[in-house]
Every structure is written in C-alpha cells, then in structure tokens.
A = this chain, B = another copy of it.
Amino acid sequence: MHTGRAATRALLTAELGVTRATAGAVAAELEALGLIRVDTRPSGPSGAQGRPSHRLDVAPQGPVVLAAQVHADGFRAALVGLGGEIVATAPGSMTVPADPAHVLGAVVEAGAGLLRGSGRICLGAGLAVPSAVAEPEGTALNPLHLAWPAGAPVRDVFAGQIARVGILGPDGEPVASFVGNDVNVAALAEHRHGAGRGAQDLLVVASGHRGVGGALVLDGRLHTGSSGLALEVGHLTVQPDGRPCHCGSRGCLDVEADPLAFLEAAGRVPGPEVSLLEQCRDLLRAEYGDPAVKAAAHTLIDRLGRGLAGMVNVLNPDRILLGGLHRHLLDADPEALRAVVSDHSLWGRSGGVPVLACALDHNSLVGAAELAWQPVLDDPLAALGG
C-alpha cells in the first residue's frame, strides 16, 4: 500500500491492483487499528448505478506523525494525519547559538506541545532540512543556511531529542525518526497528495532561499541514488561564462537561477526585512510591468529551462513540478518556460513534458510526515501492534 487517495474499497481494489477481497481485508485491518473509519451511510443519490460504496475516511481522532521543517529563519512543527492533512502546526524562530541539538530540541518540544494539546497517538517523526542528506548515515552534508557543520548527524540528533523529550509510540518506545532533504520530501508530498498524483516518473525542482534543489519520485518511491545524493542538480551548467560557483565551475544552476540571482538580474538590492523568496514573488506579481523585472524573469526562465532540459535528457520524467522561485517564474510566463525546455531537450519537441507548479502549501512539512508514515503504510500491523 503506497497510495494516499483511496476513498472506497472499490478504489483501493483498482489502485492496488488486487481483488476486492484483499482490498476489503486491508480496509478491515486499517479500521481495526484505528487508522480509518468506514462510513456506511448512503451519501445521497450518487447517480451511479450499482450498490453504493462505503466511504473510507481517515479516522477523525486517529494517530498522527510529528513533522517538522527547519529553515534559515526558524522552524515549523506540525502534526500530520494519514492522508497528509495538517492537524496542528506551530512556528518557531531560531535563537542565536543555533547548533543542531539546540534547534531540534526546540522543534521536538514544540511538537510535544502540539501532541499534548491534541490527545492523539504519535506513530513516528519526520524532519525536512535544507541540505543533502547522506544515506544511510542520516547526516546533513551542506546545511549552509542553518550554519550547521557539514556532515552533522541530523538523524541521530533528531532521534536523540525525540527520546529525550519522550515522544512515545503505542509500544511505549520513542517513535522512529526520519530525516530528508526538503525538496526530496516535498516531491514525495506532491506525488501523494498534490500536483504529482499519478506520475510515474516525477521530477521536482525548487529554489527556496539560496541554491536549487531537485528530487525524483520513481514509481511512488523517492529516488535518492546510491548514497542519498541524487538530484543535487544545482551544479548543472546553464550559463556559459556565468558567475563563479563555490563548486569550482561557472554558470551553475545554483548561482544562476536562485532568488539572489533573480534580484541581481532585476537590478534590485535584496532587503533584510523579508525573505529573498518573498521579495522575488512580490516583484514578479507587482512589478512585472517593469521592463527590468520582466527581462530578469526571462533571463532566469532561460537558464532554468536549460537546466530542466538537461535533466529531462538524463531522467526522462513524465511530469515536472516547480517550487519556490521557479514556480513563480512559471506563473509569470508559462509558455516561455515550457518552450525553453522543449527546445533544449532532444525529445521534448515531440510530445513535451508537462511542466506544472507545486500545489501544496507546506509540501516539505507534509513530505516529512510521509517519511514517517511510510513504515505504517508498508506494514500497518507491525508499526502499530508491536
């Protein structure tokens, strides 16, 4: 079981590709474990012929997972139910000595507060970080925006705080902890509950603050490569003779298609009062009439499009989703971006890959929750029964 949306046993039968009997058994198991509730009431005249199906709803007071996202300015903790619904959420701002244990301690304490207030059972914990995460070590390789040391053992620290604060599962043990790159888990969330539903080969590219991140969801599973470092797409060359990048090359996507690059291209000086991404969004929405802004947008659309085309040639996805700045660039001129991708990808011209915007608010948060839900979906009994 790996799909989110399944409102009736009949839909389960179709989506899982099993018989009605098996789907019924799965539903019965999930109901017995308190994860879903079966609604047998007739839902009015459906118009369809045949016996009306029973709706399968996520249990209203059912279990949740603790999800969190950390970023440059602070963090956000949340409780997320089965199906990606955010049950409760709380922001937090970061204090100055922001070492991992400090930050994640505050994150987990915020989550514990949410849990106490909700009275829900917690089945796991997931964390999204703006850094590549090496597998299976669970270390953050480049948490630059957090000013954490490279290689920080984020999963271990997170698990340690979960144990210290005492986030306990049904078996009385501290719940399992999962850590992922923010774009990666956002891709997972979009695939399950957002604009990526049904895609078999989903490419997600996003730029939130600095740099560019990517993710690939293959057959419903996050593809992280042999050591978790796949889709580090920031260093594809998109601009011959471009500006130097810390990787040693020039014209990398990371420095040519992120919010700072856009503001500079538009001739604006980034202000400190609001995030780079918000400045970009406001510029694109309110001042797109300004020729300098429009030209900057098209410059970045060209660079981004070349990078996306390179990924299309290597990965051959069947859908592309854009987030952060890239999503705003797509909104500004969808046809221009799609044309660049098509023109520079060998087979894009024949057919073309759909390029869409991410659809979920807080997709990194929901995606972090999906990491924690995964073992429950894989084996509900083991995850709950003990």
Q: Are A316 and B347 in contact (CB under 8 A)?
A: no
Give the distance in Å from the alpha carbon of A200 to the alpha carbon of B224 in the complex: 12
A311–B315 Cα gap in the complex (Å)?
Answer: 10
In the complex, A235 Cα to B231 Cα: how many Å?
17
Most chain B CB neighbours (cut-off 10 Å) among A132, A224, A226, A240: A226
* B249–A346 touching, CB < 8 Å: no
Please, how many angstroms separate the alpha-carbon atoms of A199 and B318 in the complex?
26
B247 engages A346 (CB within 8 Å):
yes
Q: Once the chains bind, are A306 and B249 in contact (CB under 8 Å)? A: yes
A347 to B311, CA, bound (A): 19
A236 in contact (CB, < 8 A)? yes
Contact B314 A315 (CB under 8 A): yes
Cβ-based interface call for A364 (8 A):
no
CA distance A234 to B225 in the complex (A): 21
Query: Among B228, B229, B237, B346, which residue has its beta carbon within 8 angstroms of that of A232?
Result: B346
User: Are A240 and B236 in touch, CB under 8 angstroms?
Assistant: no
Contact A316 B241 (CB under 8 A): no
A235: nearest chain-B partner, CB-CB: B313
Each complex incorporates copies of this chain amounting to 2
Report the count of interface residues on A (CB-CB < 8 A): 45
Contacts of A310 in B (CB 8 A): 235-237, 310
A227 touches B316 (CB 8 A): yes
Contact B343 A226 (CB under 8 A): no
Establish whether residues A248 and B313, one from each chain, have CB atoms under 8 Å apart when the complex forms.
no
Contact present for A233 and B313 (CB under 8 Å): yes
- A84: interface (CB < 8 Å): no
Q: Contact mask A230-269 → B, CB, 8 Å, 1/0?
A: 1111111110110000011111000000000000000000
Considering only CB atoms, which chain B residue lies closest to A319 in the complex?
B226
A354 to chain B, nearest CB (A): 11
- Does A196 touch B at the CB level, under 8 Å? no
Q: Which of A176-211 contact B (CB under 8 A)?
A: 200-201
A28 at the interface (CB under 8 A from B): no
Binary contact track A312-329/B, C-beta < 8 Å → 1, others 0: 011111100000000000
Find residues 294-353 in chain A having any chain B CB closer than 8 Å to their own CB.
Answer: 306, 309-311, 313-318, 343-347, 351
15 A-B pairs within 8 Å (CB atoms) are namely: A134-B347, A201-B225, A201-B226, A225-B317, A226-B316, A231-B316, A232-B313, A233-B313, A236-B237, A236-B314, A237-B306, A240-B241, A241-B241, A249-B344, A311-B314
Given contacts A237-B240, A314-B314, 5 further A-B contacts (CB under 8 A): A132-B346, A227-B316, A236-B314, A240-B251, A241-B241
